Amino acid sequence: MLVVMQSHAAQSQIDKVVQVIEGQGLTPHVMPGATRTAIGITGNTGAVDKSLFEVLPGVEEAIRVTKPYKLASREMKRDDTTIQLAQDTIGPKNFTIIAGPCSVESEVMTVKTAEHLVSRGVKFLRAGAFKPRSSPYSFQGLGLEGLRILEKARAETGIGIVTELMDTENASAVEESADIIQIGTRNMQNFSLLKRVGKCRKPVLLKRGMSATLEEWLMAAEYIMAGGNYQVILCERGVRTFSDHSRNTLDLSVIPPAKALCHLPIFVDPSHGTGKRAYVPAMSLASLAAGADGLLIEVHPEPDRAMSDGAQSLDFAALDALLTRLKALAPAFGRTV
């Protein structure tokens, strides 16, 4: 159920609606919009009586939401969600670049990468301290030491930190260090982890599962939002199909329906999507054209020496060339890089 307030509704009227919802043993989610406030209701197992709310002062209407996801749906919140961070705002007016190496390999390479990014106007650094690897014998990341290095890179350059959380054990540590918490593709339906980051105060970048439908992906976002954390960024990174010309099949066609059904920002990871650095620039430009709000790109000072994912990482020169093209193209889509 969604209670839509009149555009002139007073705060006291909003508070009253919240009070009535709670009085029914349900959970209110106040979502202020550009012109009016909407209040989502979750926690009901059966139908909720609309008339209960429609008689309250300041209420315009109460709407039954028919999608299995509620808080993530456009029905619940018509306006695009923007996410305000210290470094920049993520949302429909910007095209935000998050770049960096697959994993934090050392302080030197991490700070060097952060410095290069900042010099080119990139506001966010991605790098994994905890790495999900398909082999137990592969490098698993520097762990807490990696988080320290990321904090140092931010302290020295001001760059925002995006890093993956793999389990609830390290949730507090990652929440402390990161500006944006990444949930990886293999954990998109790790519901215990989703519930945990629903309690975090930092935005969450939620990668699409390798074979997740759009609805399952939005339901994963719903898990996080149902916990009270409404700052969720979707990130398409390629799905698994029969197709073998690329590491995964980057599904840019999910962007228009995701935008139609859901108000959250959506990013694209063309590095994992293609698996080959030569194809990253074209798919980055196509992501912008398809309506994405930003990119998550793998960049490494020396891709051929990377401890992981070197084949899909751009070097600094290739990143610079791509940024030049994106900056030139973005205004045609009403955005700024």
Site for its own copies in 244-263 (CB under 8 A): 244-246, 249-258, 260
Chain residues 144-203 in contact with its own copies, contact rule CB under 8 A: 166-169, 186-187, 189-195
Of 88 and 298, the one with the shorter C-beta distance to its own copies is 298
Which residue type does 11 have?
A: Q
161, β-bridge pairs: 125
> Using CA atoms, how far apart are residues 99 and 314, in angstroms rounded to an integer?
10
Residue linked to tokens 């751009």: 314
Q: Does 135 bind its own copies (CB under 8 A)?
A: yes
Length of the chain: 337
| 226 sits near its own copies (criterion: CB under 8 A) | yes
Single residue of 133, 176, 302, 336 touching its own copies by CB under 8 A: 133
305: contact with its own copies by CB under 8 A: no
Between 317 and 332, name the residue whose CB sits nearer to its own copies: 332
DSSP state of 275: S
Helix axis angle for 107-119 and 144-157, nearest 10°, is: 30
Between 31 and 153, CB nearer to its own copies: 31
| Nearest to 60, CA basis, from 38, 43, 91 | 38
CA distance 128 to 264: 24
Nearer to its own copies, 97 or 258 (CB): 258
Q: Which of 204, 290, 295, 323 binds its own copies (CB under 8 A)?
A: 290
| Under 8 Å between Cβ of 126 and 113 | no
Residues 28-67 that bind its own copies (CB under 8 A): 42-45
Region 66-125 residues binding its own copies, contact defined as CB under 8 A: 68
Question: What's the closest the beta carbon of residue 180 comes to its own copies, in angstroms?
Answer: 20
Is 240 a binder of its own copies (CB under 8 A)?
yes
Q: Which of residues 200-219 bind its own copies (CB under 8 A)?
A: 210-211, 213-216, 219
Classify the C-alpha dihedral 62-68-70-72 as positive or negative: negative
**What is the Cα–Cα distance from 112 to 125, expressed in whole angstroms?**
11
Q: Is 207 helix (H, G, I), strand (E, B) or coil?
A: strand
